[in-house]
Amino acid sequence: MSVTMAVSMRSLVRRVIPLSHRHINVSGRTSCRCLSDAAADRSTHFGFETVPEAEKAKRVYKVFENVAQKYDVMNDAMSLGIHRLWKDTLLHVMNPQSGAQLLDVAGGTGDISFRFLEYVRSQQERQKRRAVRTMQTPSWQEISNSYSTEDKDVPQESRAVVCDINKEMLRVGKQKYESAGVSAGLSWVVGDAEELPFDDDQFDIYTIAFGIRNVTHIDQALQEALRVLKPGGRFMCLEFSKVTNPVLASFQMIPVLGEVIAGDWKSYQYLVESIRKFPNQEEFKSMIEDAGFYCVQYYNFTGGVVAIHSGFKL
């Protein structure tokens, strides 16, 4: 089946099924999974362990429910704070413009969405300062034109939607930013990357940072990314990747830190194993292209410890 036909069929299903029926229920699972019986007979990996497909989502949910309270602290400890630079780099590569609409899937505690809104606001401030400098001594005609067009050219406000299947992660993130007085332009939605609760062609940018390796069906998540992006929209993924340097490739300290800081060895052992099971840069690039994205490329950082993959919906 072609990508176009597959997307069209899913769009038809969404027009028939009310949106409210496709939101996540209290257990954190989607309420219209039609292949649950078949999934029970198929197997996949949970770290290095082989488990039924239907069980993986439950286990991943439990992992992030366990780590939610210490998630930000552990990110700093595991990466020595470098994860902040990786996320900042993602925004610089993205270079979003004013009015852009972002969907941040597996957005967790909202790091990418917050950076997105801050980046757009800083861009707007720079543009205003430039405009002031160029209009130090405006002519009467320029002043008249500015009054006549100021109501017509109000730019669309940029918004970011943090979408995550784990309610506890979203709760922690929402609480963090509301406590800091940050809420404008930011929405929090419980949703599954494999079956997003959004209509077609809704977003300019789709990001997923350190989340796609936890998805059971990566190909299905990529198809959903394509569906919800507007034509010309951009897919961006920041994820751990493959390195050749054995020193950089060692993640053995992560479970130790998990035990010391969060009292949870097993959850962080899974994170290490999931990193090692994830496809390498070229394999993942091919998967993105197979989903129907164009101009797909990737950028390695910190010797390939992480990579940013980018592609466009045409």
Whole-angstrom distance, CA of residue 4 vs CA of residue 124? 36
Whole-angstrom distance, CA of residue 107 vs CA of residue 209? 7
Cα 162 to the chain's mean position, in Å? 8
Tokens of residue 248, six digits:
């950089």
Q: Is 164 annotated as a binding residue?
A: yes
Amino acid symbol at 68 = A
Q: Is 192 annotated as a binding residue?
A: yes
Amino acid symbol at 47 = G
* Burial class (CB within 10 angstroms; exposed 0-12, middle 13-18, buried 19+) of 212: buried
Q: Is 88 annotated as a binding residue?
A: no
Q: Is 68 annotated as a binding residue?
A: no
Q: What's 157's DSSP letter?
A: P
Whole-angstrom distance, CA of residue 181 vs CA of residue 114? 12
Query: Distances in Å between the alpha carbon of 73 and those of 33, 83, 191, 260, 269?
Result: 34, 11, 24, 12, 17
In 3D space, the residue among 87, 158, 146 whose CA is nearest the CA of residue 117 turns out to be: 158
Task: Provide the β-strand partners of residue 189.
Answer: 163
88-123 b/e with 16+ CB inside 10 Å = b? eebbeebebeeebbbbbbbbbbbbbbbbbbebbeeb
Q: What's 69's DSSP letter?
A: G
Annotated binding-site members for S-adenosyl-L-methionine: 109, 164, 192-193
Annotated binding-site members: 109, 164, 192-193
